[in-house]
Amino acid sequence: MGKPVLPDTDVLIDFLRGHAKALALVRSCEDRLILSAVVVSELYAGGMNSSRFSECFR
């Protein structure tokens, strides 16, 4: 196993939106990804403002 990878929120947002470069990056290091509390909270806060968020958590 290689070194851990700490992606920025923007990379994960692009991944969730299906952007090819972000998909490739995340998939290439998915066994080494770590998320900071800041990234998790930013994703959560951004998701709260999305209609898709409420669809996923009904």
pTM: 0.77
Provide the residue ranges of all domains of the chain, joining segments of one domain with +. Answer: 9-56
pLDDT tens track for 19-55: 999 999 999 998 999 999 999 999 888 877 776 665 6
Task: Please give the backbone phi and psi of residue 30, each rounded to the nearest 5 degrees, phi first.
Answer: -60, -25
Backbone angle region of 18, left / alpha / beta, with phi > 0 → left and psi within -120 to 50 → alpha: left
Q: How far apart, in whole angstroms, are the C-alpha atoms of residue 46 and residue 10?
A: 11
Task: Please give the backbone phi and psi of residue 19, each rounded to the nearest 5 degrees, phi first.
Answer: -70, 130
| Mean pLDDT in residue range 3-22 | 93
